[in-house]
Structure 1
Amino acid sequence: MIDAPSAHAIAAMLVTVAMFYGFASGRLKVEIISLLTISVIALGLYLYPLPGERPTDGLKLAFEGFGHYALITICALMVMGRGLVATGALDPAARLLTRLWRFNRGLGFLTTLVLAMIMSMMVNDTPVLVLLLPIMVTLASRGGMAASRTLIPINSAVLIGGMSTTIGTSTNLLVVSIATDLGMRPMGVFYFTPLVVIAALVALPFIWLVMPRLLPDNSVQTGHAPRRFYASLRLGPRSPALGQLPAAFLARTAPQVELVGAPETPAAVDDRIAVLAPHEALEDAMRALGATTAPAALLDRVHAASRRSREDLAVVEMSIGADSTLIGKRIATSGLAETHDVAVMGVHHARTAWEWRDDNLLEAPLDEGDILLVTGTMADITALARSESLLMLDGAKEVPRTAKASLALAIMAGSVGLASVGLLPIAISALAGAILMFVTGCVRFDKVGRALSAKVIVLVAASIAIGRVILESGAAEWLGQLIALGLHHLPAGGALAAVMVFVTILTNFASNTTAAAVGTPIAFSLAQKLSIPVEPLVLAVLFGCNLCYATPVAYQTNMLIMTAGDYKFGDYTRTGIPLVLLMIVTLSALLVFKYGLY
């Protein structure tokens, strides 16, 4: 029989339940619920301090999460992740996937799953999925596997990869940080990676072969071909196509590109090759040919304008309005480049389906409804839209600073490497990496807001506060006693599995970060009650917090794919519950084996 919890413990559990309910209901934003939780803890402990403490001690407990090293580490990792995205460091992997899918769908799908796992070990789950999401949707539209049958499996692979290192997700960092604060020895970056890799190998056949069969084909045949732009590609002196027939070269390297009046002589420097292609395929052709779509002098001026304004370049589709002064003009004589420091990459003619002629259609007079593919800074593009009565269409794309891609990768690898071998704590190496991203220009100071997520910051701070109050109030000890009553007669493996199930239920219906903050102190209490080492119980909590496959509200990436895959709630439960059970059984057995809990 256990004693009744104290008033402070009851209050701590009620606040935690209210926080869970707020996250699960979705009626308020995560940021608001997190700030309300911090406020309730601060005011409650100020008015009713814990035994033996002063009112100001409660304020310190409530707000110390904002200065916690775990939060600093998470912010630094988000900055470095932004550097990889802004420099296009991950784009080569995306292009490789596209080629593999075209070669063999099964092999391409398997490679995508493995690559998703590997990338999410070092980069936060959300940027990895954001990178892969448009690739899978595009491949589906080009005859690949339906996006509805690939996105949930890929999301699951991303989540498993993120589970495998201490820096894979903010949740992992939070669990390890709280456990270290409570007295457990620190864990290195790859401390528990072998366990997760083995579990991933067990789960991979299910994700690869079974999950797609459990999901519906929600692909919709719209009947609308992607918008195609006419462009003139200028070959540079280092073009790999020099000396080859352009038609044969592009057929191998950029099959989505249609040549217009293909030349019958081998390509030479400064040749112009007329093509018709969607935006993404046009960029593929530019990379393959080593070509540009505008004169070198104009592109130099556009890049100079970017350096002066310290703004990144963007590519925007712009529609010509009825009152635009560009109607009837040609690109070369329109004065766009001289006036606005922008370059027109291509033109989509919105008139009738015109036939190819011998003249250069890029120089055909513009008309109402034509769409220009324009590159420049957003300030110059916005000024162009105002002065020429152009409408900026959705889907503006930031041009990555590819010259710094290798540098961004080196900074990320160095930061992770120093932490993984124990030369520096992860908080110091991540902070140093973030500073280097700023100093080297991989991430610009004015774009740091895109890297940092206010929602993540306040959620982590609230989770640290709720974890501390659960521990300090005695709620963790009381819950540990309560759970121990049911687990006392179970073998160690059953106890670990039960803890994992408990945390998994919390994380699938509330916040995995909050589940981590609550579950970690309980693991310490259970270790004493069950005479089990604390480390496997903490890892059971960490793993359970990452088994968020069974509901769309369990994690932000689950929601991210819901619209793109046209998923329903049942699609997540039908595929997620078997995967959760498979992972719980595998990980529990691995923990028993690793720690000798026979």
Structure 2
Amino acid sequence: MSIEDMALTPSTLVFIVLGLTLAAFIWGRFRYDLVALAALLGSVMLGLVPAESAFMGFGHPAVITVAAVLVLSRGFERSGVVDIIANQVLKVGENLFLQLLVLVGTVVMLSGVMNNVGALALLLPVAMRLAREHNTSPSLLLMPLAFGSLLGGLTTLIGTPPNIIISSYRGEVTGDTFSMFSFSPVGIVVALVGLAFIVLIGWRLTPKRSGQASTNDMFDTANYLVELKVGEESKANGLTLQQLRDELDETIPVLAVVRDDNRRAGYNFHGTLQEGDILLLEAGPDELQLLEDKVGLSAIAELEDDAETIETEQSDVASDPENNIERNAEGDAENDVGSDKKEDAKDEDAPKERKPVDTEGLQLIEAVVRNDSMMINRSVRQLRLNHQFGLHLVAVARDGGRLKQRLRDIRFKNGDILLLQGSENEISESLASLGCLPLAKRDLHLGQPRKLVLSIAIFALAIIAMLFDLLPAAVAMSTAALISLLIGVLPLREGYQAIDGPVIVLLAAMIPVGEALETSGGADLVANSLLYFGSDWPVVITMVGLFLLCMLLSNVVNNAAAALLMAPIAVSLANGFNVSIDPFLMVVAISASCAFLTPIGHQSNTLVLGPGGYRFGDYWKLGLPLSLVVLAVAIPMILLVWPL
């Protein structure tokens, strides 16, 4: 059926497609890259986007530039540039004002030269470590840190995808793109004022949730970590751990197996269980009953006629993954599984103290699920977490509290905090593959000095090439990324892992849809409506309205999508007023990155949701005043630097 038969104009169809797309973004049932791809294909089928142009977005300069910046950001991390900075941040001391100033100031600076999500991801473990070492509530540090990463992205072309999108769109309209530091005069002032507001006033508006946000409370396993013994008649006798899991039809994590006073981590135990083996695992009352009924494993406390109280000196293993695991790893005889509280009842008459057991390799780590993680909406079994990644899931916390349901039934969400056990040598790579960010104590490494200097030099040359118009941004950044890979600053596999696939698909799919908004006349229709209502007002009032509209949109959809949709409307508005398009494009660039009101508006906000113990409604308390501050500073600065 043709468009004419349906009696719907192209602009009406575009609005229908965009309305459904925005509704799907807000609903959140499907990932935003899938929603964007569906919008693109739907536009092609409706004749809004020519089929031969449907996938041109994957070669768009904005998409290429974003991918290159992601690779360069990972190269900075790998070379040790950021670790040197982070190492200095940890020396700030216990003064909260100084902690905020240094943390937020650092993330603002880093976000100007690398991806803002990457900058936050690098400093998030540092902030958590600061909070623990100085007994500061993480909730006071993490939201300001996330908002600081957004403010820092305003300062340069490569700081955030909306800037790259706006620059590329200006090139399509005028033939001339914004340069690397075209955003700096406005962006730096806005970022500095925002930083001052956060450090002096804004942090007081964040909730102090020392209890919910602390790992001790979220992962308090004093009532869960137990020792079970394999008896002569136990069905578990002679089974491997995998066969044991199959028998139980449950994902109860076995953290360690103790045999002859030697402990082997569960993921590293490949033999069969024998009589007398002790299993250290996490289990609640239901799981304990299951283990007793199905495989005949009995809690050691029961052998002492104390079935009601299952005590263990090892409960600290998970209640403080940063400090206590290290103590456990030293094999402290007092705190080990085999303390004299748990001597076998058979040896009551001649009790003997158990020797310290070998706990090498028993490492627990906290991690947060990122927005782009492959774990989202999937369970442990679907992910094959143990077989494919060598990880045991010990506990999950969500919304500041530990989930009590069975681990196998949990479908992960972005922002979930996971307590995982895995090989010390492989856990970092496994977390990266899964799309998780480690939160536990992070050993800072300074990289190789030669590669550190090379990384900075390559980036500087790319900036110079852009400043003097020797190369377009996409070519300069891609060349820098390629050289970084060729000389070994970043391994090729990590280079590919650094590219955020969902963001790339989102950009590539939404670019043709955004163009359809313009070619169908939809952008002019929206602009004319705004012009009609604002014809009796100064142009600056319309700019404020455009700012608020784009800012609200960015809080419910990806900021890149907001920029793509609002850029054609901004240009149509400028043409309607017969003024320069630059101030209107700058309004979109700034406002699209002001997603301070919700945890879903930007990946940075979602990343701190779990570790900070925040709730959905916490964000606007700091985000709304900060948004108004940005608006009050940005509009006058834009008119000063980019006059009408």
Normalised TM-score (structure 1) = 0.70
Of Structure 1 and Structure 2, which has the larger fraction of its residues in helix?
Answer: 1
Alignment correspondent of 1:141? 132
| Residue 321 of structure 1: how far off its partner (Å) | 2.7
Q: 2:427 aligns with which of 396, 406, 409?
A: 396
Alignment correspondent of 2:88? 96
Alignment correspondent of 1:77? 69
Unaligned runs of 5+ in 2: 1-6, 220-253, 265-325, 337-353, 365-386, 392-420, 430-442
- What SS does the aligned partner of 1:18 have? helix
- What SS does the aligned partner of 1:509 have? coil
Alignment correspondent of 1:118? 109
* 1:349 equivalent in alignment to 2:394: no
CA contact (8 A) 1:121 1:168 kept: yes
CA contact (8 A) 1:319 1:371 kept: no
In the TM superposition, 1:160-239 aligns within 5 A as 160-183=151-174, 185-220=176-211
**Residues 82 and 438 (structure 1 numbering): CA distance in 2 closer, same or farther, change over 3 Å?**
same
Distance in 2 (alpha carbons) for counterparts of 1:12 and 1:569: 31
1:367 is aligned with what amino acid? V
| Residue 396 of structure 1: how far off its partner (Å) | 2.7
CA contact (8 A) 2:550 2:588 kept: yes
CA contact (8 A) 1:415 1:433 kept: yes
**Residues 215 and 423 (structure 1 numbering): CA distance in 2 closer, same or farther, change over 3 Å?**
same
* 1:528 equivalent in alignment to 2:575: yes
Alignment correspondent of 1:43? 45
Alignment correspondent of 1:13? 15
Alignment correspondent of 1:464? 511
CA RMSD of aligned residues (A): 3.2
Q: Deviations over 1:84-121 (max 9, x none)?
A: 1223321011111110134x432232122221111100
In the TM superposition, 1:573-588 aligns within 5 A as 573-588=620-635
CA contact (8 A) 2:459 2:480 kept: yes
CA contact (8 A) 1:72 1:427 kept: yes
Q: Deviations over 1:497-550 (max 9, x none)?
A: 111111111111222212111111111111121122111011111111011111
CA contact (8 A) 1:349 1:369 kept: yes
Q: 1:65 aligns with which of 46, 49, 57?
A: 57
Alignment correspondent of 2:28? 26
Distance in 2 (alpha carbons) for counterparts of 1:516 and 1:96: 36
Unaligned runs of 5+ in 1: 51-56, 227-317, 329-344, 355-363, 375-381
2:447 is aligned with what amino acid? T
Alignment correspondent of 2:357? 367
Alignment correspondent of 2:258? 322
| Residue 428 of structure 1: how far off its partner (Å) | 1.1
- Say which is worse superposed, 5-14 or 78-87, in terms of deviation: 5-14
**Residues 323 and 437 (structure 1 numbering): CA distance in 2 closer, same or farther, change over 3 Å?**
farther
CA contact (8 A) 1:321 1:368 kept: no
Q: 1:501 aligns with which of 548, 551, 554?
A: 548
Distance in 2 (alpha carbons) for counterparts of 1:410 and 1:326: 51
**Residues 373 and 87 (structure 1 numbering): CA distance in 2 closer, same or farther, change over 3 Å?**
farther
- Say which is worse superposed, 554-563 or 166-175, in terms of deviation: 166-175
Q: 2:466 aligns with which of 419, 422, 436?
A: 419
**Residues 319 and 19 (structure 1 numbering): CA distance in 2 closer, same or farther, change over 3 Å?**
same
**Residues 486 and 401 (structure 1 numbering): CA distance in 2 closer, same or farther, change over 3 Å?**
same
CA contact (8 A) 2:333 2:355 kept: no
2:619 is aligned with what amino acid? Y
- What SS does the aligned partner of 1:187 have? coil
1:22 is aligned with what amino acid? A
Q: Deviations over 1:410-445 (max 9, x none)?
A: 222322332234332111110111111110112212
CA contact (8 A) 1:184 1:535 kept: no
Distance in 1 (alpha carbons) for counterparts of 2:521 and 2:140: 46
- What SS does the aligned partner of 2:542 have? helix
Alignment correspondent of 1:151? 142
Q: Deviations over 1:140-163 (max 9, x none)?
A: 111253110111111111101101
Alignment correspondent of 1:303? none
Distance in 1 (alpha carbons) for counterparts of 2:620 and 2:85: 30
Alignment correspondent of 2:96? 105
- What SS does the aligned partner of 2:457 have? helix
Distance in 1 (alpha carbons) for counterparts of 2:115 and 2:331: 41
- Structure 1 vs Structure 2: percent identity of aligned residues? 26
- What SS does the aligned partner of 2:54 have? helix
**Residues 142 and 325 (structure 1 numbering): CA distance in 2 closer, same or farther, change over 3 Å?**
closer
- What SS does the aligned partner of 2:478 have? helix
1:392 is aligned with what amino acid? G
CA contact (8 A) 1:488 1:530 kept: no
Distance in 1 (alpha carbons) for counterparts of 2:494 and 2:643: 49
- Say which is worse superposed, 575-584 or 178-187, in terms of deviation: 178-187
CA contact (8 A) 1:65 1:465 kept: yes
Distance in 1 (alpha carbons) for counterparts of 2:483 and 2:605: 32
CA contact (8 A) 1:163 1:196 kept: yes
1:42 is aligned with what amino acid? V
Alignment correspondent of 2:558? 511
- Say which is worse superposed, 419-428 or 398-407, in terms of deviation: 398-407
- Aligned residue pairs total 456
2:97 is aligned with what amino acid? G
CA contact (8 A) 1:408 1:437 kept: yes
Alignment correspondent of 2:286? none
| Residue 323 of structure 1: how far off its partner (Å) | 5.0
